[in-house]
Amino acid sequence: MLQLLIIFIFFSFAHNIAGVLAWRFMGYLRIFISRDIRLKVFKKLQDLDMSYHISHSTGNTISIFKRGDSAVDDAIVIFHMFLWGPLITFSISLAILWGIHWAFAVSVLVFAIIFIIILQKLLSNNLKWRRAYHEQEDNITGKITDNLMNMITVKHFAKEQWEHNRLTDFFKLWTSNYLDYDKSFRYMDFISNIIATINIVLALFLGYFYFKQNVITIGDFVLLFVMITRINDELRYLVYNYREFNRSLVDVEKYINILEEEPNIKEPETKIKINNINPTIELRKVTFNYPDNTNQVFKNLSFKIKPKEKIALVGKSGAGKTTIITLLLRFYDVVSGGIYINGQNIKDFKKEELRSLFGTVPQDPIMFNETIKYNVCYGKSEATMAELIMACKLANIYNFIDSLPAKFETQVGERGIKLSGGQKQRLAIARVILSNPQIIIFDEATSQLDSESEKEIQDAFWKIAKEKTTIIIAHRLSTVIKADRIIVFDQGKIVESGTHEELLKLNRKYCKLWKIQSANISINSNIIK
């Protein structure tokens, strides 16, 4: 009896010391593991194709990232501290019971196994509801993020209350799923308490029986009561932590699954160096359709862009102009045929090296919620202040920046909301100037600007395009007059090609578009007068 009591006291003391040391160790372990996983997931998100990001909303991804990061931290702590600790305590307690009488250890072990089997079945149902609840949680986060990113549209249409009502509807399903999850949770607790109570009653009944048979002493009986109570507490603690551990695993599922995603656009096994001086671009019998659409955008499309040539791609919306850019940058791969730079298939080039050849001024440049300097220097992070100023002067934006109180340290706001469309365009041009690409893409960059701003942007653009291979995508045909060659697209096919003057003489599709736009300009001018 005394020997068993000493073992119990020693074990309790050692358990407390081990707990303190374990907490100290876990403090270091959890932070480094959490950091490494977070960085790996973020890196994977950067490496995945545009097709992945298009099919997954920003808010949904943020929700998964945030919940997963927290769950990883919880899982580490639960596994190393609260799962193994009770398991060890439970095992040693069983050994002490065995020292009192083997029957007590066997009965407790049998009940523990039954307990775990029943709880495992209940747990699977609980986790099912948790997954459903998380699905709605991610959807709600996605809706809120989408709303905040488009707040100006909400305000324009006075849809504040409508948006609130819409989110309220989403919360109804979220609430229903959460209540189902919580109900299964409480049911598990109820069953756990019943089993634990039965275990204590039977163990004490068995102890009383052996006491009456003079198999154990009154001291053994008292120690038995203490140990059974301790074992029940540890067992319930063990089961609770097992449940919490599995819950953390459910929370981290989508987070870790991101690491298992693989980009469709593969890096070549043998990388070929690009000769990025005056590159020639050629599309050879290119056939392409987007992964989620069976309709072909192009079929056997072929054309060539010479070094330093200025070409314009024009045509109706949906004709395939912007798709050509996504293929050149390998955001998608062609279905058949190939795209070649200096005679080499672009699939043979490292994606980073390929894309470094291009500098794009898009229709709606997206700015980071950072300073003007940060956004412009995104084209060349190591740029000197002299290079930065020169780029901004060439882009006709320096005087505006210099007039600001904080100058280059001015915060532009989320998505550049503090800037006008023309200012964002000029900053985008300055960014391209700093990056010094061999090929410049001007993608509908003046379509939303007034005539004065358009002229300023055009002047800035042609300054930097002078010695570069240039691709212009435009609806406004006034943008492409200076192009060496204009390629007219219709339903994914080239229907005309030539200079502005040559196409006017042909008196076909381009000429028709030109006449329509010229007439509209004339009408608008008369209205203004």
- CA-nearest of 447, 509, 451, 450 to 473 is 447
407 — pLDDT class (breaks 50, 70, 90): very high
340 — pLDDT class (breaks 50, 70, 90): very high
What is the residue type of 223? L
Q: What is the pLDDT of residues 37-76, one digit of tens each?
A: 888 888 888 888 877 777 777 777 887 877 777 777 777 7
Report the pLDDT value the prediction gives residue 523, as an integer from 0 to 100.
43
The yes-or-no verdict on residue 339 having pLDDT over 90 is yes
Other C-beta atoms lying within 10 Å of the C-beta of residue 504: 14
How far the first Cα of the chain sits from its last, in Å, is 108
| Gap between the Cα atoms of 6 and 8, Å rounded | 5
Q: What is the pLDDT of residues 276-308, one digit of tens each?
A: 667 889 999 999 988 777 777 888 999 999 988
- CA-nearest of 433, 438, 46 to 274 is 438
Report the pLDDT value the prediction gives residue 137, as an integer from 0 to 100.
80
What is the residue type of 329? L
Greater confidence, 312 or 251? 312
- CA-nearest of 440, 438, 431 to 381 is 431
- CA-nearest of 234, 298, 247, 330 to 71 is 247
The yes-or-no verdict on residue 512 having pLDDT over 80 is yes
Q: 232-263 as b/e, with b when 16 or more CB fall inside 10 Å? A: bebbbbbbbbbbbbbbbbbbbbbbbebeeeee
By three-state DSSP, how is residue 147 classified?
A: helix
State percent of the chain over pLDDT 90.
10
The yes-or-no verdict on residue 127 having pLDDT over 80 is no
Are 340 and 349 within 8 A, CB to CB?
no
Q: What is the SS3 assignment for 60-119?
A: HHHHHHHHHHHHHHHHHHHHHHHHHHHHHHHHHHHHHHHHHCHHHHHHHHHHHHHHHHHH
Report the pLDDT value the prediction gives residue 449, as an integer from 0 to 100.
61
CB contact set of 279 (below 8 Å; sequence gap of 6+): 307, 341, 342, 357, 438, 439, 469
Report the pLDDT value the prediction gives residue 34, as an integer from 0 to 100.
75
Q: The pTM is what?
A: 0.69
14 — pLDDT class (breaks 50, 70, 90): low
Are 419 and 426 within 8 A, CB to CB?
no
**Which backbone phi and psi does 485 adopt, to 5 degrees?**
-150, 135
Report the pLDDT value the prediction gives residue 276, as an integer from 0 to 100.
60
Computed over every residue of the chain, the mean pLDDT equals 79
Decide whether 266-357+439-446+468-529 matches 364-436 in CATH topology. yes
Report the pLDDT value the prediction gives residue 527, as an integer from 0 to 100.
40
State percent of the chain over pLDDT 70.
85
Report the pLDDT value the prediction gives residue 174, as an integer from 0 to 100.
82
Report the pLDDT value the prediction gives residue 372, as an integer from 0 to 100.
92
- CA-nearest of 415, 443, 370, 445 to 146 is 415
Report the pLDDT value the prediction gives residue 50, as an integer from 0 to 100.
79
Greater confidence, 339 or 522? 339
Q: What is the pLDDT of residues 374-386, one digit of tens each?
A: 999 988 888 899 9
Report the pLDDT value the prediction gives residue 369, as an integer from 0 to 100.
87
CATH topology of domain 266-357+439-446+468-529: Rossmann fold (3.40.50)
- CA-nearest of 101, 364, 82, 397 to 233 is 82
| CATH number for domain 2-260, candidates 3.40.50.300, 1.20.1250.20, 3.40.50.150, 1.20.1560.10 | 1.20.1560.10
Report the pLDDT value the prediction gives residue 376, as an integer from 0 to 100.
92
In this prediction, residues 483-498 reach a mean pLDDT of 89
Q: What is the pLDDT of residues 424-459, one digit of tens each?
A: 888 988 898 888 888 988 887 666 566 666 677 777
**Which backbone phi and psi does 495 adopt, to 5 degrees?**
-110, -20
The CA distances from residue 276 to 116, 307, 354, 428, in Å, are 65, 10, 9, 22
Dihedral sign for Cα 491, 474, 498, 521, please. Answer: positive
The CA distances from residue 14 to 17, 95, 226, in Å, are 5, 16, 18
The yes-or-no verdict on residue 221 having pLDDT over 60 is yes
Report the pLDDT value the prediction gives residue 18, as an integer from 0 to 100.
58
253 — pLDDT class (breaks 50, 70, 90): confident
Provide the β-strand partners of residue 315.
Answer: 489
Greater confidence, 9 or 255? 255
| Gap between the Cα atoms of 464 and 458, Å rounded | 10
Report the pLDDT value the prediction gives residue 394, as an integer from 0 to 100.
84
The yes-or-no verdict on residue 23 having pLDDT over 70 is no
In this prediction, residues 178-201 reach a mean pLDDT of 76
| Gap between the Cα atoms of 104 and 142, Å rounded | 55
15 — pLDDT class (breaks 50, 70, 90): low
What CATH number is given for 364-436 in this structure? Answer: 3.40.50.300
Report the pLDDT value the prediction gives residue 305, as an integer from 0 to 100.
92
21 — pLDDT class (breaks 50, 70, 90): low
Are 285 and 262 within 8 A, CB to CB?
no
Report the pLDDT value the prediction gives residue 402, as an integer from 0 to 100.
92
Q: Residue ranges of the domains in the chain?
A: 2-260, 266-357+439-446+468-529, 364-436
Q: Which residue has the tokens 């876990």?
A: 26
Greater confidence, 28 or 55? 55
Dihedral sign for Cα 205, 211, 213, 215, please. Answer: positive
Report the pLDDT value the prediction gives residue 528, as an integer from 0 to 100.
38
19 — pLDDT class (breaks 50, 70, 90): low
In this prediction, residues 209-233 reach a mean pLDDT of 72
The yes-or-no verdict on residue 524 having pLDDT over 60 is no
Are 465 and 433 within 8 A, CB to CB?
no
Top-ranked range on mean pLDDT: pick from 223-237, 317-331, 335-349: 335-349
The yes-or-no verdict on residue 329 having pLDDT over 80 is yes
Are 469 and 321 within 8 A, CB to CB?
no
Report the pLDDT value the prediction gives residue 201, as an integer from 0 to 100.
78
Helix (H) or strand (E) run with residue 305 in it:
strand 298-305
Complete DSSP assignment for 252-278: HHHHHHHHH---SSPPPSSPPPP--SS
